[in-house]
A and B are shown apart, each in its own frame.
Chain A
Amino acid sequence: MKSRIKIWHFILLLWLLIVIFRFDRIIDAAGFLFLSAQLIFTAPGFVFDQLDFSMVDFIVSVKLIFLLPFILYIFRKKAAIIFRSSNLSSSVVILLLFGFIFSPVISNTHPDFYKNIGMTRLLPPLSTVLILHLKEVATHTEGATGNFLKLKESLIKKPFDEKIIFIDSLIVADEVVYYQKGLPVKMSLTGIEMKNSLPLITKRMFILGTDEFGRDIFTRLMYGTRTSLSIGFLAVLISLLAGLILGYLAGYAGGVIDLILSRLTDMFLAFPVIFFVVLILALFGNNFISIVLVLGFSTWMSLFKIVKAEVLSVKTKDFFQTAKLIGLSKTRLLLREVLPVIMVPVIVNIVFQYGNVILAESALSYLGLGIGNELPSWGSMIESGQEYIYKAWWMIFFPGLILTGTLLAANSIGRNISKYFNPRLD
């Protein structure tokens, strides 16, 4: 049974959800964009001083939010895939891409934000907490630059925020008494942001609950998407290049090079790869770059074997011999004659490899050898959730779910591609 929902319906639905739920944030962001465009002309030095990664990130994703419907409309002919009916794997891929691109817009906290740990730690999904706002100390100057800084502060979230307090309830009299876990805390009215002569109180909902430090799991999952997808992409790129070039060398040149490379592959295959990866990471330190390199260089063997076998068979074909006799260079032979032939198995292999690398990265994070604590990662979320398994099932359930969904999507897409190119299979 094919569902009637096309892929572009799903994309637009997600887009609408973001726009509805983050409407005020997006309006503010539009103002922010306008203001910064103005300031680029009036005070360019000031804007460039303020520019950092999180700001660029935010601006890019806001612009993409505005442009998404137009992009879909303009590229509807080229990306005809969006008119296919959506299934589970395509939905998962779109969700992941949304998390990857739009996480600064969708989430309204920093992934590492925590405050009043006692109040917010290990909250179950869908629980709400009241927020008491403290009065802002006017530090910003008036005028365009002051507005700019103010907007930037409210839009681009930091891992800390001095102006809010998480509370259970409060009593207002001559002074404010607020309760945190049943303990009263007194505070004078002067320090508190007022609205209609009552303290300004807002609610904050943790959709998927919080972890042991009171950090929002939903936000961390979304930023974890970035970690996983980018590590997967870079590692697969490395393994693709290594496998392609070495396989072509071994298949084309043969002889000693082939012998050495084949022994090397045998050596890697004679030993469970995970131990090799752990060995390198434990001995030489683990960070983003080393993980990408190690995962990239430990997964090229299967690609090497495929490419080598294909090159060996292509080498005897007439078209290849002709191209060689015409005098094409080796690089052009690889790009123009060999690559189109081996495209299909290589693409299928890459898609499966992508799933494997994401899995390996989370497994490493689970073992404590991941990218460390600077970036949120699904594997390390599961690892830290294991300690609280008696109290907080949501800490492992949601990262586990999203990881499984990603791997499922990678697998079924890989199988669909190979089925598409080899219709005789099954």
Chain B
Amino acid sequence: MNKKIVRIFLRRVLSSAVVLFLLITFIFFLVRISPGDPSQRFISPAFSPQLAESVRQSFRLDEPLFNQYTVFIRNFAAGDLGISYNYRRPVLFVIGDFLPFTVTFALVSFALQLLISISLAYYTVKRKNSLTDKIVSGTMLAAYATPVFVAGVILIYIFSVQLNLFPSSGIAPIDVHTYGFFRKILAYAHHLFLPFIALSMVEVAILYKYLRDNLNDVFNKTFILNLRANGIKEKTILLRHVIPNAANPLISVTGIELGILFGGTLIVEVIFGLPGMGRLTIEAILTRDYPLVIGCTLIAGVLMIFSNLTADIVRAKIDKRVLIGALN
């Protein structure tokens, strides 16, 4: 049994790795066959063509495509993703500057989203067809349909421009390093409140919809009635029986959503000027910083696959039938 599980796990990891490798190869060739020259940013037409050529040489862009690829693969196998053209530092270090913020922000906002949507879904499912239920469901529908950038800009207008309650960009005040620990946390929370709301509206609506439907289904099952008839406490029923049964489809969704969050929430980062992976990726693409593009792709893909895998493991942990299905 255990051996089998390990084998399945390894197979998943291996096939994910193959997919990732294909993805990187695809991006590698895509950026290089595209029109445009990265060295153009660093020289002006006034300079001599020899200089342009030497810049291209320093980027190793003068070699044949296939040679570039073999060099890239050799370095990649050694854990070296190259040096970013813009930052003049190893790609992994550049990403290391941006990744912690993205991961922290993604995890914290994801936990809060889960908490909000679970409590909302539980609250409304208990009061089915009441006024509160209708209001919450309607609001969730509207929140789902509101594009992130519209929500973000309108939030800035209301809370930053009109009410002047929250800052409209950045993640902390300039003198944040002088603050004590708790004040630091407060300052970050103050700055990240609006981005969090803009980001979470859609996500909460998605999670809420799934949870609400599933909870409704499970609450109507006969075994819940049986448990109630046996005098089990509502709280125990909820925690031990309802949520595990309702969680199964939700967890796959959360895996995908978390993966997308890890990849960087591009539009929120652009609106609120946050230093995250999304903006780094876009900047790398727009300035044709090839090594950085590939590094960002790799990280986004790894995190995506990692969160999907985690979701599957959690699902198998909660529901043994999933595991048995995977084994056969």
Interface residue ranges, A against B (CB under 8 Å)? 263, 266-267, 270-272, 274-275, 278-280, 282-285, 355, 359, 362-363, 366-367, 379, 382, 385-386, 389-390, 393, 396-397, 399-400, 403-405, 407-408, 411-412, 426
Contacts and interface: CB of A to CB of B under 8 A. Distances in A.
Nearest to A358: B147
Interface stretch (B117-125, B230-238, B298-306, B312-320): B298-306
Contacts of A411: 141, 144-145
Q: Give chain B's interface secondary structure class.
A: helix
A386 B34 contact: no
Contacts of A382: 149-150, 153
A185 to B, nearest CB: 35
Contact of B34 (A284, A366, A397): A284
Contact of B35 (A284, A389, A397, A426): A284
Contacts, number: 116
Contacts of B147: 359, 362-363, 400, 403-404, 407
A274 B266 contact: yes
A293 to B, nearest CB: 14
A263 B260 contact: no
B286 A282 contact: yes
Contacts of B267: 363, 366-367
Given A282-B286, A283-B36, A396-B154, A271 B142 contact: no
A399 B293 CA distance: 33
B285 A278 contact: yes
B141 A408 contact: yes
Given A363-B149, A426-B213, A400 B263 contact: no
B149 to A, nearest CB: 5
B153 A389 contact: yes
Given A275-B300, A366-B267, A386-B153, 13 more contacts: A270-B301, A271-B300, A272-B264, A275-B278, A279-B293, A282-B285, A283-B36, A362-B147, A382-B153, A396-B150, A403-B147, A403-B150, A408-B145
8 closest A-B pairs (Cβ-Cβ)? A283-B34, A400-B150, A408-B145, A407-B145, A272-B263, A282-B285, A366-B149, A266-B19
B161 interface: yes
Contacts of A274: 266
Q: Give the interface residue-count category, chain B.
A: 35 or more
B30 A283 contact: yes
B35 A283 contact: yes
Contact of B281 (A275, A405, A426): A275
Nearest to A285: B35
Given A271-B304, A382-B153, A403-B150, A408 B35 contact: no
Contacts of B286: 282
Nearest to B25: A267
A408 to B, nearest CB: 4
B297 interface: yes
Contact of A400 (B23, B144, B153): B153
B228 to A, nearest CB: 23
B263 A275 contact: yes
Contacts of B161: 389-390
A404 B142 contact: yes
Interface string B174-202: 00000000000000000000000000000
B20 interface: yes
B328 to A, nearest CB: 18
Interface in B1-60: 16, 18-20, 22-23, 26-27, 30-31, 34-36
Nearest to A409: B145
